[in-house]
Amino acid sequence: MTGPRAHTARPGRDRRAVYLPPPAGSARVGGPPRSTAVVGGGIAGLAAATALAERGVDVTLYEREPYLGGRVGGWPVELYDGSTATMSRGFHAFFRQYYNLRGLLSRTDPTLAGFIGLPDYPLRHGAGLHDSFRRVPRTPPLSALGFVALSPSFRSRDLVRMNPVAALPLLDVRVPEVYDRLDAVSAHDFLASLRFPQAARHLAFEVFSRSFFADPRQLSAAEMVLMFHIYFLGSAEGLLFDVPREPFPTALWEPLGDYLRGHGATLRTSTPVDQVAPTEDGAFTVLADQRATRHDTVVLALDTPGLRSLVGRSPRLGDTAWRDRVHRLRTAPPFLVSRLWLDRPVDRRRPGFLGTAGYGPLDNVSVLERWEGEAARWAVRTGGSVVELHGYALPEDGDPEVEAKRLIEELWRVYPETRNARILDERHEWRQDCPLFPVGGYDDRPGVRTPQSGLVLAGDLVRTDLPVALMERAATSGFMAANALLESWGVQGHPLWTVPDRGRSRLLRTLAARGQGAGTRP
C-alpha cells in the first residue's frame, strides 16, 4: 500500500516497536488552500513535503542542488572512457530500525524490493582482530551478550577488569532522560569509565561515535549511548542492514520526486533560497532566483551551514534567543569519501562493506559491485572493481590530496591485492556539513517547533526527544514538522514509529535505576 495510510502497519519484526499516533483532524486540508515552502530537498525535506502533499497542501520544495536526496543524493560523472557513472557522498546503511525512513521510501516501493540486505556487518582492526554481527542474536539482551561472547575482542581477563556499575546507564536508555544523565560527558570519557578492552572500544562503541563523523572526545556520550540502545539493547531488529540495489537517485529520489509531483507538489531544484521573510498577515515570502513567492508556512530542512546561513540572511525570522541557538550550531570535523575505479577485481571473498579501526584515517571500505547494479555492470564490462573508502573526523586543516593518498595506502593494507591494481578513475569528496552533537549541547539544540507560528525545522540536526538518529532522525523530524503544521490547520497528521523508548528488560531497568540512585555518573 502507498499513500497516507501506508505507515500504520507494524514496520518491522520488533513487536515492541512504539507507535506514536498522529494528531487528529480532517483527512485533508479544507477551506482556503494552504501552501508550504519546504527549503531543502534532503531526507527531512522530502519527508515533510510528502506528508504535507498527501494531505492536500500546496507544496513547493526548494533545493540548491540539481538533485534530490541531500547528503544521500547522487550526481552523474563522466569516467575516463567517456562512460557515465553516479557519484555520491558515499555508502549509507539503511538499518531495519529506520521505521519512518523506510515508511517514506515505501511510498514508491511498497515492499522495498529495491533494497538488498548485506549478509554481515564485519569489523576489522589493524592489529588483526575481526568482529562480525552475522551470528549475533537480534533479540535483546541476547544481542549484547552474544556479541561479547562471540567477539575475540573480549577476553575473560578483560571482562574481569570492566566496571559494571559504570555500564548501568546502558541498560535503561530513555529519551530525553539519557541527556540529563550523560550529555555532560564525552563519548571518550564514558568509554574509559567502562574500562572496556581497547580493541573492543575501537571495534564496537567507536563505530557508533564515528557514525556521527565526530571524534569521541567531542561527541556527547548521550548520543553514543542512544545509538547503543537503538541497535543493541533497545531493538530486536539487530545490526544488519539493507542497501539500495541501484544508485541513490535511480533507486530512491527520482521515484519519490515523481510521487510528489503526482500529488501536486512543485520541485524547484538548482534553486537556492536567498531569504525568508515573514509578512504582516502571518505568512512568509521566500526569495529565490530573484523571485519572491508567498507561502502560508515554511519548513526549513537544511544542513547546519545552510540553516545558519539562511537564518543569518533572514533577520526577521524567529526571536533573538532562537536565532542565537541556530547560530551556535556546529558541524562535525571534515570527512572524505574516495571512490576508485580499479582495473582488476578485489578478491571475490571480500565483503560488500567492512568497518575498520586501527588503519589510520580509514573507517570503512565498500566494494560497490557486491550490491549496486551500476557498479556491477561496470565491473562485468571492464573486469575491474569499484571501491569506496571513507575517512571520518579528519583534521580541520587537513589537505584533501594528502588524506586521499593515506586512505588508498590503508586500503592496500586491508586488501593487499589492490596494491597492484591500476586506478582507472577516481573521485574524492571532502565535506564538512554534518551536525556535531557536542558535549553539553542538547539543551541548546533547536527543536522542530520555533517561536514563530508557521515556521518549523527538520533535519538530523534537530532535537526530537525521540530515540532516533542519523537518517532516521532526519525522516522523523520531517514528518514531525509536517504534523505540527497540519495540526495547526485541524488536519490529521501522520503516525510515527520508533524503537522502544526505554530498556526492554524489567530486571535490567531495575539494575539501572539502582545504579543511578547510587550515583554512577561517569
- For position 321, what pLDDT does the model report? 97
The three cell numbers of residue 500 are: 522502544
- For position 131, what pLDDT does the model report? 73
Say if residue 231's pLDDT is above 90.
no
Q: What is the mean pLDDT of residues 108-116?
A: 97
Quickly count: other Cβ atoms within 10 Å of residue 1's Cβ. 11
Among the ranges given (39-43, 162-166, 261-265), the one the predictor scored with the smallest mean pLDDT: 162-166
Distance CA 63, CA 453 (A): 23
| Backbone φ and ψ of 494, nearest 5° | -115, 140
Say if residue 159's pLDDT is above 80.
no
Distance CA 63, CA 186 (A): 35
DSSP string, 256-276: HHHHHHHTT-EEE-S--EEEE
DSSP for residue 203: I
| Helices (runs of H) and strands (runs of E) counted in the chain | 17, 22
Say if residue 156's pLDDT is above 60.
no
Q: What is the mean pLDDT of residues 317-326?
A: 98
Query: pLDDT confidence of 4, banded at 50, 70, 90?
Result: very low
User: What residues are paired with 449 via a beta bridge?
Assistant: 456
- For position 59, what pLDDT does the model report? 98
- For position 238, what pLDDT does the model report? 79
- For position 160, what pLDDT does the model report? 61
Quickly count: other Cβ atoms within 10 Å of residue 488's Cβ. 16
The three cell numbers of residue 432 are: 564538512
The three cell numbers of residue 117 are: 540486505
Say if residue 380's pLDDT is above 70.
yes
- For position 210, what pLDDT does the model report? 61
The three cell numbers of residue 180 are: 540529563
Q: What is the mean pLDDT of residues 387-412?
A: 96
- For position 5, what pLDDT does the model report? 42
- For position 372, what pLDDT does the model report? 98
- For position 236, what pLDDT does the model report? 85
Distance CA 45, CA 63 (A): 9
Find where cell 512504539 sits.
18
DSSP string, 400-435: HHHHHHHHHHHHHHHSGGGGG--EEEEEEEEE--SB
Query: pLDDT confidence of 94, banded at 50, 70, 90?
Result: very high
Spell out a b/e string for 437-450, using b for 16 or more CB atoms within 10 Å of the CB, else e: bbbebbeebbbbeb
Q: Summarize pLDDT for 297-312 with one digit per residue, the tens.
A: 999 999 999 999 999 9
Distance CA 68, CA 75 (A): 9
Q: Calculate helix-pair angle for 221-228, 187-194, nearest 10 degrees.
A: 60
Q: Do residues 497 and 100 touch, judged by C-beta distance below 8 A?
A: yes
- For position 1, what pLDDT does the model report? 34
Q: What is the mean pLDDT of residues 510-515?
A: 64
> CB-based burial of residue 20 (10 Å sphere; 0-12 exposed, 13-18 middle, 19+ buried)?
middle
Say if residue 507's pLDDT is above 80.
no
- For position 370, what pLDDT does the model report? 97
Average pLDDT, the chain: 89
The three cell numbers of residue 336 are: 572524505
- For position 146, what pLDDT does the model report? 60
Quickly count: other Cβ atoms within 10 Å of residue 256's Cβ. 22
| Backbone φ and ψ of 429, nearest 5° | -115, 110
Q: What is the mean pLDDT of residues 57-82?
A: 98
Quickly count: other Cβ atoms within 10 Å of residue 427's Cβ. 16
The bridge status of strand 385-391 relative to strand 364-367 is: antiparallel
Among the ranges given (126-130, 221-225, 227-231, 426-430), the one the predictor scored with the smallest mean pLDDT: 126-130
Per the model's pLDDT, the better-predicted residue between 13 and 200 turns out to be 13
Distance CA 228, CA 190 (A): 13
Picking from 231, 165, 219, 150, the residue whose alpha carbon sits closest to that of residue 189 is 219
Distance CA 127, CA 144 (A): 23
Alpha carbon 306 to its chain centroid, in Å, reads 17
- For position 203, what pLDDT does the model report? 57
| Backbone φ and ψ of 126, nearest 5° | -60, -20
In 70-118 the beta strands, taken as DSSP E runs, fall at: 74-78, 84-88, 94-95, 115-117
Name 130's Cβ contacts closer than 8 Å, sequence gap at least 6: 122, 123, 124, 152
User: What residues are paired with 355 via a beta bridge?
Assistant: 123, 364
Distance CA 288, CA 201 (A): 47
Q: What is the mean pLDDT of residues 108-127?
A: 91
Say if residue 99's pLDDT is above 50.
yes
Percent of the chain with pLDDT over 70: 86
Picking from 499, 513, 434, 414, the residue whose alpha carbon sits closest to that of residue 169 is 513
Say if residue 385's pLDDT is above 60.
yes
Q: Do residues 503 and 512 touch, judged by C-beta distance below 8 A?
A: yes
Per the model's pLDDT, the better-predicted residue between 145 and 186 turns out to be 186
Coil vs helix vs strand at 236: coil
Q: What is the mean pLDDT of residues 29-47?
A: 96
- For position 514, what pLDDT does the model report? 62
Q: Summarize pLDDT for 443-492 with one digit per residue, the tens.
A: 999 999 999 999 999 999 999 999 999 999 999 999 999 999 999 999 99
Cα–Cα distances in Å, from 81 out to 338, 418, 424?
19, 21, 9
